[in-house]
């Protein structure tokens, strides 16, 4: 094994260590967007199919989810599975960058380029986030490395490889469009400047187009899905573009993307320790590249990589400009090689690599510290990475019996973190609701995860219906940011004395959980606590109406004096209900201040949301039930 290959092996192992060292600390982290990729991966596992695009979550190219399939199949629906895939893509990107560095620079310089990428704080962090943008630097680098090698060797196999990688770029991330256009510009330039390679150029183009056709067909039939995200984030004025340019000018060496999801502690584009190598790389690039036109090509790659962020909101956005990682590594590696060469010329040949190596060692330590210590304790990371739900899910997975129902609040079943981790918690049935509006009470002892920082009164809200015990809490903060409870339903809740159960349409059962007052004043509000259950799996969502009727009723020509309609638990829609749980919800009926004193009827019923047909009461011809007759008294001063 030659020295350069030994060096690149050591560099790859170092890069793998920096990336894999986060797998443990980040095993309870999974952000909203990452979880959506996991949910789509589960969908592809359960219903295998080929699709170029996934429309959920503003629309996403599909290749990343297909890559995730074996990882989720082997390691389950856990953050570890997604992050392992991302870190492996990061290490492969280092290897691809070595190939690209060899085409542009020397073999030794390519080792420095790979090391620059290996210790890059931006790329280390990006390699740990399970987002599809991770694929753009990998596949884009492979595309350009193959394209440059094909142009140099004129081998048909290399032209085919280049076409494959360019075509696959279509299915990575929307920012890749500019990399694809940049590759096509190279093909056009070579078409006119080197006629001997036209056969290979046509081959690359046709292969790329062939792979692009599925996305083209999807775009023609679903244009709103393809363009919804770019349209939502694009800037619309030149002033916004200029402001983005100004922000990016500061981002190179001072302050980068402030979003902690994409950039720990707002680090700049170029790591502080590597600034000398980066600057030397810029100054000496003309004398470092194999061909002078490579200088202009690298400059163009910087431009097409940064443009997606310049033309969209929230600049400097490190995710949309993720391709910039590659030319920055090229310049930094080229600068390190130049420093080594200068030192050799000064006669210190033995120690020539030491000075640039010291810069990279410092940079590597800083990256490790920032990614593994400072970022993990960033005040925004806990909520951005949904640690509350994931830590609780990990605890339940390890400590809660598999028969126990699990509920998360305040969430919805469609929240991607809940939907993804539900597969990991199986066979435990998993639900979710927002306790500010409703509760779900299982017929058997259940476990509830509450985000205490958003609903500190959760235990008090739950306690009238179930006896609660704290199983665990957020160990890192007091008051806790989340709490896991065990709740045992109270016997009086399951068999309440206040009202017989009414069934509607052989679908929904209703009963009153608390007594309704017999006498109220005009201008007051009556609160009805209702329990609702599914009698069968439901395929529609429902609303409840609460009406105040006089004599005659509205069906006999009288007025509707008051109403309190509302959807049944919109955070936990009826299509998600199980038949062994009760939905508890309060409905408010505001009594008019000018209503005449007298006796009135409180009527309730169920209808399809938002304004569909009413469900009949089983065994009758009516669609409402008189819950209570009340005496309404005039206000004292009226």
Phi, psi of 591 (to 5 degrees): -85, 130
State which of 493, 513, 537 marks the end of a domain. 493
The per-residue pLDDT for 520 is 94
DSSP string, 318-361: TTTTGGGHHHHHHHHHHHHHHHHHHHHHTT--TTTTHHHHHHHH
Does residue 232 register a pLDDT over 60? yes
pLDDT band at 32 (very low <50, low <70, confident <90, very high): very high
What is the arrangement of strands in the sheet containing 446-450, beginning at the earlier edge strand? 430-432, 406-409, 446-450, 483-489, 466-473
Distance from C-alpha of 441 to C-alpha of 187, rounded to nearest angstrom: 64
Distance from C-alpha of 212 to C-alpha of 51, rounded to nearest angstrom: 12
- Are residues 297 and 331 located together in one domain of the fold? yes
Phi, psi of 293 (to 5 degrees): -70, -15
- Are residues 365 and 404 located together in one domain of the fold? no
Does residue 638 register a pLDDT over 60? no
pLDDT band at 611 (very low <50, low <70, confident <90, very high): confident
- Are residues 523 and 601 located together in one domain of the fold? yes
With respect to residue 12, please indicate whether it lies within any of the assigned structural domains.
Answer: no
With respect to residue 17, please indicate whether it lies within any of the assigned structural domains.
Answer: no
- Are residues 237 and 307 located together in one domain of the fold? yes
Tokens of 524: 């007051």
Percent of the chain's residues with pLDDT above 70: 98
pLDDT band at 495 (very low <50, low <70, confident <90, very high): low
pLDDT band at 626 (very low <50, low <70, confident <90, very high): very high
The average pLDDT across 511-528 equals 92
The average pLDDT across 65-89 equals 97
pLDDT digits (tens, 9 = 90+) for 154-208: 999 999 999 999 999 999 999 999 999 999 999 999 999 999 999 999 999 999 9
Does residue 394 register a pLDDT over 80? yes
pLDDT band at 491 (very low <50, low <70, confident <90, very high): confident
Q: Hey, what's the torsion of the CAs at 142, 143, 144, 147, to 10 degrees?
A: 120
Cβ atoms within 10 Å of 94's Cβ, excluding its own: 28
State which of 493, 516, 535 marks the end of a domain. 493
The per-residue pLDDT for 496 is 61
The per-residue pLDDT for 605 is 95
The average pLDDT across 472-478 equals 88
Does residue 569 register a pLDDT over 70? yes
- Are residues 52 and 95 located together in one domain of the fold? yes
Structural domain boundaries, residue 421: 392-493
Distance from C-alpha of 251 to C-alpha of 270, rounded to nearest angstrom: 9
With respect to residue 629, please indicate whether it lies within any of the assigned structural domains.
Answer: yes
The average pLDDT across 374-378 equals 90
Strand pairing category for 598-608 and 542-549: antiparallel
Q: Which residue has the tokens 């309609």?
A: 565
pLDDT band at 1 (very low <50, low <70, confident <90, very high): low
With respect to residue 19, please indicate whether it lies within any of the assigned structural domains.
Answer: no
Cβ atoms within 10 Å of 488's Cβ, excluding its own: 13
Does residue 345 register a pLDDT over 90? no
- Are residues 433 and 550 located together in one domain of the fold? no
Does residue 323 register a pLDDT over 80? yes
- Are residues 126 and 209 located together in one domain of the fold? yes
With respect to residue 140, please indicate whether it lies within any of the assigned structural domains.
Answer: yes
**Residue 595, helix vs strand vs coil:** coil
The per-residue pLDDT for 593 is 92
- Are residues 403 and 336 located together in one domain of the fold? no
State which of 359, 381, 403 marks the end of a domain. 381
Distance from C-alpha of 44 to C-alpha of 41, rounded to nearest angstrom: 5
With respect to residue 3, please indicate whether it lies within any of the assigned structural domains.
Answer: no
Tokens of 157: 């196999």
pLDDT digits (tens, 9 = 90+) for 259-296: 999 998 889 999 999 999 999 999 999 999 999 999 99
Does residue 437 register a pLDDT over 90? yes
pLDDT band at 635 (very low <50, low <70, confident <90, very high): confident
Distance from C-alpha of 440 to C-alpha of 422, rounded to nearest angstrom: 17
Distance from C-alpha of 271 to C-alpha of 363, rounded to nearest angstrom: 7
Q: What average pLDDT is seen over the chain? A: 94
Tokens of 276: 């000398």
With respect to residue 6, please indicate whether it lies within any of the assigned structural domains.
Answer: no
- Are residues 49 and 142 located together in one domain of the fold? yes
- Alpha-carbon distances of 571 from 80, 437, 586, rounded to whole Å: 28, 8, 14
pLDDT band at 561 (very low <50, low <70, confident <90, very high): very high
pLDDT band at 316 (very low <50, low <70, confident <90, very high): very high
Determine contact, residues 548/591, Cβ cutoff 8 Å: yes
- Alpha-carbon distances of 516 from 90, 223, 271, 475, 601, rounded to whole Å: 63, 54, 67, 42, 12
The residue among 175, 86, 160, 155 whose CA lies nearest residue 124 is: 86
With respect to residue 14, please indicate whether it lies within any of the assigned structural domains.
Answer: no
SS (HEC) of 86-131: HHHHHHHHHHHHHHHHHHHCCHHHHHHHHHHHHHCHHHHHHCCCCC
Does residue 434 register a pLDDT over 70? yes
More confident residue, 172 or 349: 172
The average pLDDT across 487-491 equals 91
The per-residue pLDDT for 2 is 66
Total structural domains within the chain: 3
- CATH number of domain containing 529: 2.60.40.3880
- Are residues 113 and 129 located together in one domain of the fold? yes
DSSP string, 203-246: HHHHHHHHHHHHHHHHHHH-HHHHHHHHHHHB--SHHHHHHHHH
The per-residue pLDDT for 484 is 97
- Are residues 347 and 244 located together in one domain of the fold? yes
- Are residues 295 and 195 located together in one domain of the fold? yes
The average pLDDT across 398-420 equals 96
The per-residue pLDDT for 264 is 84
The per-residue pLDDT for 477 is 84
The per-residue pLDDT for 4 is 76
pLDDT band at 219 (very low <50, low <70, confident <90, very high): very high
Does residue 416 register a pLDDT over 80? yes
Cis preceding-peptide flag for 258 (omega within 30 of 0): no
pTM: 0.92
Percent of the chain's residues with pLDDT above 90: 89
């Amino acid at each position: 094994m030659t020295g350069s290959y030994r060096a690149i092996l050591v560099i790859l192992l170092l890069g793998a260590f920096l990336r894999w060292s986060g797998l443990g600390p980040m095993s309870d982290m999974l952000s909203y967007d990452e979880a959506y990729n996991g949910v789509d991966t589960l969908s592809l596992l359960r219903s295998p199919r080929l699709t170029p695009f996934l429309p959920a979550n503003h629309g996403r190219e599909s290749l990343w989810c297909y890559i995730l399939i074996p990882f989720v199949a082997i390691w389950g629906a856990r953050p570890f599975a997604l992050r392992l895939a991302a870190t492996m893509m990061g290490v492969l990107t280092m290897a691809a960058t070595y190939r690209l560095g060899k085409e542009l620079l020397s073999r030794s310089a390519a080792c420095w380029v790979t090391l620059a990428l290996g210790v890059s704080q931006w790329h280390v962090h990006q390699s740990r986030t399970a987002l599809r943008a991770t694929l753009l630097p990998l596949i884009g680098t492979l595309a350009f490395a193959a394209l440059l090698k094909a142009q140099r060797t004129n081998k048909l196999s290399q032209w085919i490889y280049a076409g494959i990688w360019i075509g696959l770029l279509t299915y990575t991330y929307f920012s890749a469009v500019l990399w694809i256009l940049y590759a096509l510009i190279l093909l056009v330039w070579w078409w006119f400047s080197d006629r001997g390679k036209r056969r290979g150029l046509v081959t690359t183009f046709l292969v790329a187009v062939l792979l692009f056709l599925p996305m083209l067909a999807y775009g023609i039939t679903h244009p709103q899905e393809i363009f919804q995200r770019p349209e939502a984030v694009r800037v619309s004025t030149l002033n916004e573009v200029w402001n983005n340019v100004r922000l990016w000018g500061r981002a190179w060496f001072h302050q980068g993307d402030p979003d902690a999801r994409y950039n720990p502690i707002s680090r700049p584009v170029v790591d502080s320790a590597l600034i000398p190598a980066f600057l030397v790389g810029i100054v000496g690039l003309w004398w470092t590249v194999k061909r002078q036109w490579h200088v202009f090509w690298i400059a163009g790659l910087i431009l097409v990589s940064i443009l997606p962020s310049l033309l969209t909101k929230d600049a400097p956005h490190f995710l949309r400009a993720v391709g910039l990682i590659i030319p920055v590594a090229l310049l930094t590696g080229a600068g390190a090689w130049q420093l080594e060469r200068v030192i050799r010329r000064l006669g210190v040949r033995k120690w020539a690599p030491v000075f640039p190596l010291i810069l990279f060692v410092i940079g590597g330590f800083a990256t490790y510290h920032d990614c593994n210590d400072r970022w993990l304790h960033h005040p925004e990371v806990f909520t951005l990475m949904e640690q509350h739900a994931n830590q609780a899910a990990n605890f339940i997975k390890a400590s809660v019996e598999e028969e126990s129902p699990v509920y998360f609040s305040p969430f919805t079943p469609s929240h991607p973190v809940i939907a993804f981790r539900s597969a990991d918690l199986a066979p435990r049935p998993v639900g979710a609701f927002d306790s500010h509006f409703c509760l779900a009470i299982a017929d058997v002892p259940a476990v509830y995860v509450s985000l205490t920082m958003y609903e500190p009164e959760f235990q008090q809200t739950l306690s009238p219906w179930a006896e609660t015990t704290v199983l665990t809490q957020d160990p890192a903060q007091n008051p806790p940011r989340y709490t896991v409870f065990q709740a045992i339903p109270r016997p009086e809740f399951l068999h309440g004395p206040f009202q017989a159960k009414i069934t509607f349409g052989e679908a929904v059962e209703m009963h009153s959980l608390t007594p309704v007052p017999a006498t109220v004043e005009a201008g007051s509000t009556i609160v009805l606590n209702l329990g609702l259950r599914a009698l069968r799996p439901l395929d529609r969502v429902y609303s409840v109406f609460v009406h105040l009727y006089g004599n005659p009723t509205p069906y006999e020509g009288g007025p509707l004096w008051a109403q309190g309609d509302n959807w049944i638990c919109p955070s936990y829609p009826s299509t998600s209900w199980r038949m062994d749980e009760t939905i508890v919800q309060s409905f408010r009926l505001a009594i008019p201040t000018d209503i005449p004193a007298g006796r009135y009827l409180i009527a309730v019923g169920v209808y399809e949301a938002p304004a569909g047909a009413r469900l009949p009461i089983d065994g009758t011809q009516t669609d409402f039930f008189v819950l209570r007759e009340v005496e309404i008294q005039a206000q004292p001063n009226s």
